[in-house]
Amino acid sequence: MTKTRELSTNEKQWIVNLHQEGLSTRNIAGKTGILPSTIGYAIRRWKSRGTVVNQPRNGRPKVTNPRIDRKIIKKVLNNRRISAPKIVAEIAEECGVTISSKTVQRKIHEHGFQSRIARKKPFISKTNKMKRVSWAQIHATWPIDQWKKVLWSDESKFNLFGTDGVVKVWRKTNEEYNSKCMRATVKHGGGNVIVWGCMSWNGVGLLAIVDCKMTKEVYIRLLEENLQKSVKKLKLGRNFIFQHDNDPKHTAKIVTEYIKTKKVHVLPWPAQSPDMNPIEHLWSELERRLTYRKPSSKSDLVKMLLDEWDKITPEVTKNLVESMGRRTSALLASKGYPTKY
């Protein structure tokens, strides 16, 4: 056993008991496996104190006090991006006390805060926050049967060589150029596929491939070819509610007029609200399903997208639509700011 390890209370009591039985230091060492010098020290401490329990240790006095601790946490609550050195400087100026960045970090950690990468969410203007709250107030009381009538729609892009985001791999030192640990890229991105899709409580509708630049005229043609077919496939009936966001192509005058002529009821939609559209999570689901498939061309990617889309079961879309009550509640709780969705 090493000299640096402190004996436990039970070990020290064992040594004292053996000493009281008349055993020598050498015999106690042979019986316990503890160094004779450590045994001698433990016995002397016991004789001088009358106990084997450690007494409270003084240690270094605290630099901060409860008032300064509260100031540190208040600064964090007021500015979640403030750095420890910045807090050190402000405490020195306001309280005349010099503390270290480590002390500040320790106090912050003691109150349950950890340094993490900030989640990216779109900026929402003050006006749009108010509109989002108003929308949530109206729709928070919608029963699930009302949400079942909604046909959710959206466009999305899928890259031939995977996501635009960060890709993480497990690797060892010097394996950064191992073919299994690299992410393949090609000049100009290797191409991508734009799709339009829709879903409801009953499942997924049609998935349309957009093989040209999306314009308001192209969007009308897309709706003409896919909207009613999707409604029929999902058995929504004539009283369905159509949802699309406020993309300029969707709100163009000719698109609005086209939808009116088809007598389609459109769900009013607040600006900057992708977190309220459950189909956004369906795109993530489709992306995950493509993770282990490796298309070699855009035509391969199209086939795989259509194949995986058709495999999405109604259970998936039901769970997404059922989340609308939680989404509207979260939007009200956040007062119009982005939610976790």
127-156 per-position pLDDT tens digit: 999 999 999 999 999 999 999 999 999 999
Phi first, then psi, for residue 299 (nearest 5°) are -65, -35
Q: In CATH, what number is assigned to the domain containing residue 25? A: 1.10.10.10
Does some domain include residue 324?
yes
> What is the average pLDDT across 218-237?
96
Instruction: Provide the domain count of the chain.
Output: 3
Residue with tokens 């008991």: 17
Give yes or no: residues 244 and 311 share one domain. Answer: yes
Residue with tokens 């997924």: 204
Give yes or no: residues 74 and 216 share one domain. Answer: no
What is the domain range of residue 307?
126-333
Beta bridge partners of 207: 197
Does some domain include residue 118?
no
Give yes or no: residues 47 and 190 share one domain. Answer: no
Condensed to tens digits (0 to 9), the pLDDT of residues 82-118 reads 899 999 999 999 988 889 999 999 999 898 888 877 7
Does some domain include residue 116?
no
Beta bridge partners of 204: 199
Are residues 277 and 328 in contact, defined by beta-carbon separation less than 8 angstroms? no
- DSSP per-residue codes, 25-40: HHHHHHHH---HHHHH
Does some domain include residue 201?
yes
Q: In CATH, what number is assigned to the domain containing residue 267? A: 3.30.420.10
Query: Would the pLDDT of 49 be above 70?
Result: yes
pTM exceeding the 0.75 threshold for the entire prediction: no
> What is the average pLDDT across 26-40?
90
- How many residues would you count in the chain? 341
Give yes or no: residues 210 and 228 share one domain. Answer: yes
Q: What burial letters (b/e) apply to 114-131, b meaning 16+ CB within 10 Å?
A: eeeeeeeeeebeeebbeb
3-state secondary structure of 237: coil
Query: Would the pLDDT of 179 be above 80?
Result: no
- Strand 203-210 relative to strand 192-200: parallel, antiparallel, unpaired? antiparallel
Query: Would the pLDDT of 177 be above 70?
Result: no
Condensed to tens digits (0 to 9), the pLDDT of residues 319-336 reads 999 999 999 999 999 999
Give yes or no: residues 139 and 162 share one domain. Answer: yes
Does some domain include residue 13?
yes
3-state secondary structure of 14: helix
Give yes or no: residues 19 and 94 share one domain. Answer: no
How high is the pLDDT of residue 171?
64
Query: Would the pLDDT of 297 be above 50?
Result: yes
Beta bridge partners of 242: 151, 266
Does some domain include residue 121?
no
3-state secondary structure of 36: helix
Give yes or no: residues 184 and 299 share one domain. Answer: yes
Give yes or no: residues 202 and 54 share one domain. Answer: no
